[in-house]
């Protein structure tokens, strides 16, 4: 699908190749009210999440030139509703290692110094057996760099992924260090639209909810 602008916008964008990206965060998962380290855990959607998925698919149905998604089912289900997705583990959330499946309350009670040290330097600190946010961001951004090169001119695509991966992409596109990633806080089943051109990135919409 070609990206079409109004005459005024065409006049100020010094590029004839613009990629329109629709970033979706997966819908609400079971136990969402708990502050839980999920990471690479393949968890199910809640009843509310299934309703959010349907609403998002109806609100932003495409069609898209391509749909990319994390291979974890909380993302894959929405991606399948948007088109014929290309799955990759490279779009997964940060690997939280041995902390996965544990609540932050339990981790803090068990190892207060360790959890404090993690949040003091979350870009570089690694959970036991896991990866740092910086590592995860580098993985996701490297995936995008390789994928972007395969896209046709003026592509319109959807990416269904996790909050950490969305933060990594937005920081890269907006020229921000990954240490600023927590400034982006898209909720469950939200839609963020970004135009990517040689001149830079423009955020058209951020954190939209279908309902």
Catalytic residue from among 22, 28, 40, 93: 93
- Bridge partners of 203, per DSSP, are 194
Q: Do the strands 190-197 and 156-161 form a parallel or antiparallel pair, or are they unpaired?
A: unpaired
Contact indicator for 82, 61 with CB cutoff of 8 Å: yes
Which residues are within 8 A (CB) of 190 and not within 5 positions of it... i.e. 6 or more apart? 24, 25, 207, 208, 209
| Active-site hit among 22, 26, 40, 191 | 26
**CA 41 to mean position of chain CA atoms:** 16
DSSP structure class, residue 101: T
Whether 93 sits among the annotated catalytic residues: the reply is yes
Active site residues: 26, 93
């Amino acid at each position: 699908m070609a990206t079409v602008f109004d005459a005024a916008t065409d006049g100020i964008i010094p590029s004839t190749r613009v990629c329109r990206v629709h970033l979706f965060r997966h819908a609400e998962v079971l136990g969402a009210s708990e502050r839980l380290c999920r990471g690479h855990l393949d968890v199910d959607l809640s009843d509310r999440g299934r309703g959010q998925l349907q609403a998002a698919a109806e609100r932003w149905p495409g069609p898209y030139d391509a749909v990319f998604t994390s291979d974890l089912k909380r993302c894959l289900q929405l991606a399948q509703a948007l088109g014929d997705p290309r799955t990759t583990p490279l779009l997964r959330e940060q690997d939280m290692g041995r902390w996965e499946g544990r609540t932050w309350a339990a981790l803090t009670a068990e190892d207060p110094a360790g959890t404090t040290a993690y949040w003091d330097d979350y870009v570089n600190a690694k959970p036991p057996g896991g990866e740092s946010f910086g590592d995860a961001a580098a993985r996701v951004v490297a995936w995008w760099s390789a994928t972007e090169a395969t896209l046709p001119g003026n592509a319109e695509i959807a990416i269904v992924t996790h909050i950490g991966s969305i933060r990594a992409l937005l920081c890269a596109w907006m020229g921000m260090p990954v240490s600023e990633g927590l400034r982006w806080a898209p909720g469950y089943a939200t839609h963020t639209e970004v135009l990517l051109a040689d001149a830079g990135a423009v955020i058209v919409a951020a954190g939209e909810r279908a309902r």
